[in-house]
Amino acid sequence: MNLNELNRVALAMVAPGKGILAADESTGTIKKRFDAINVASTEESRRDYREMLFRSSEAMSQCISGVILYDETIWQNAKDGTPLVKIIERSGAIPGIKVDEGTQPLPNCPGELITVGLDKLAERLQKYYERGARFAKWRAVINIDQDKIPTMTAIHANAHALARYAALCQAAQIVPIVEPEVLMDGDHDIDRCYEMSQRVLNKTFQELRIQRVALEGMVLKPNMVVPGKKGPKQVSAEEVAEKTVRLLKNCVPAAVPGIAFLSGGQSDEEATAHLDAMNRIGGLPWRLTFSYGRALQAAPQKAWSGKAENVAAGQRAFIHRARMNSLATKGEWKADLEKKAA
């Protein structure tokens, strides 16, 4: 393992003004997104859509540090035959790859999930590296309710899998994005989200230490501290920022180069406002940026709607969201910039 090189890539992933485009929806998930815009999900439509994003050169070169790809996409070529990976590299962004194989029910823990995909991961990582991937992602999903969930069983099993994945990545000279996502579904309040996220992060870093993962060569992708979507009280961006930063300061060692949040079902503008409010706090040991899927793609998906004549409109929508989030990484976003563009 060359830790200097892993650290260099990790720092590039969280470079000021830049963040990560999570375009790694599984075939099932992208079908759901395409259903919502009445587009048939085929290998070709998925390729055309993602090619549209990756060829948005202004967004890609100025605001996007890396792209998380799904297995199908990393092997795909653009319409003109250029590998999509090359288009990403030429824009100055780093190709990455989702390597988990989704979730399965966790035995003895009704309502909870375990992420799978460790078998043969070492061989898969080697092939992805050869294709150009320099970072990877593994997402653990932690459900939360008012009472019994998450169990320590689910937290432990998922943290252990994340740490095993991260160690395998670093051995293959690939930077692991460690993503323990506490879901925002449900009707819990923000303080329960804080408590459960704290348990999850503490266990995750304990397992990372046990597996001897080098913290300088990874990126953390956590949820923000927010109330459940059906929760009793929605809160201000400042409260989300203050509680999320407090949680991270308590749980994430300063050796970690950067933290790239998931959007997790927040609206586009909320995800931007929350990131911005955190970066306004300042004085943090790690860089805070985005690794958004839905909050970067919902607008371009809608503008594109599967039609070739809408590609320019789709790219404009993507560039706008990328630019707003880029400003948020520096604490320079303002709500009226959204209105001006609309």
- Over the window 4 to 43, marking each residue x when it contacts ligand 13P by CB under 6 A and - when it does not, the resulting string is ------------------x---------------------
Query: Closer to ligand 13P at the Cβ: 175 or 295?
Result: 295
If the CB atoms of residues 33 and 90 are measured against ligand 13P, the closer one turns out to be 33
Choosing from 262, 303, 324, 328, the residue that interacts with ligand 13P (CB under 6 A) is: 262
If one asks whether residue 139 binds ligand 13P (CB under 6 A), the answer comes out as: yes
Residue 233 a catalytic site member: no
Comparison of 97 and 303: residue with beta carbon closer to ligand 13P: 97
What is the closest distance, in whole angstroms, from the C-beta atom of residue 340 to ligand 13P in the complex? 25
Q: Where are the beta strands (DSSP E) in 112-158?
A: 113-115, 135-142
| Interface stretch with ligand 13P, choices 4-12, 28-36, 203-211, 260-268 (CB under 6 A) | 260-268
Taking the least distance from each CB to ligand 13P, the nearer of 287 and 294 is 294
- Interface with ligand 13P includes 50 (CB under 6 A)? no
DSSP string, 247-277: HHHHHS-TTS-EEEE--TT--HHHHHHHHHH
For residue 285, give every residue at least 6 positions away whose Cβ sits within 8 Å of its Cβ, in sequence order, or none.
Answer: 254
The only residue of 263, 301, 315, 329 in contact with ligand 13P, by rule CB under 6 A:
263
Touching ligand 13P, residues 271-310 (CB under 6 A):
292-295
Nearer to ligand 13P, 121 or 183 (CB): 183
Query: CA nearest 338: which of 323, 140, 230, 53?
Result: 323
Beta-strand runs (E) in the chain: 19-23, 64-69, 94-98, 103-105, 113-115, 135-142, 175-182, 219-220, 258-261, 287-292
Calpha distance 55→299 (Å, rounded): 16
**31 is an active site residue:** no
For 327, residues 6+ apart whose C-beta sits below 8 A from its C-beta are 276, 333, 334, 337
Task: Compute the half-sphere exposure of residue 299: CA atoms within 13 Å on the CB side of its CA.
Answer: 20
Min separation Cβ 221 and ligand 13P, Å:
7
98, 137, 221, 243: which one is catalytic? 221
Given 179, 203, 207, 243, which residue is catalytic? 179
Binding residues for ligand 13P, how many (CB under 6 A)?
Answer: 10
8, two tokens: 């260099």
Question: What b-and-e string marks burial along 297-327, b requiring 16 or more CB atoms within 10 Å of the CB?
Answer: bbbbbebbebeeebbebbbbbbbbbbbbbbb
- Kindly list the catalytic residues: 179, 221
Residues near ligand 13P, by CB under 6 A:
22, 139, 179, 262-264, 292-295
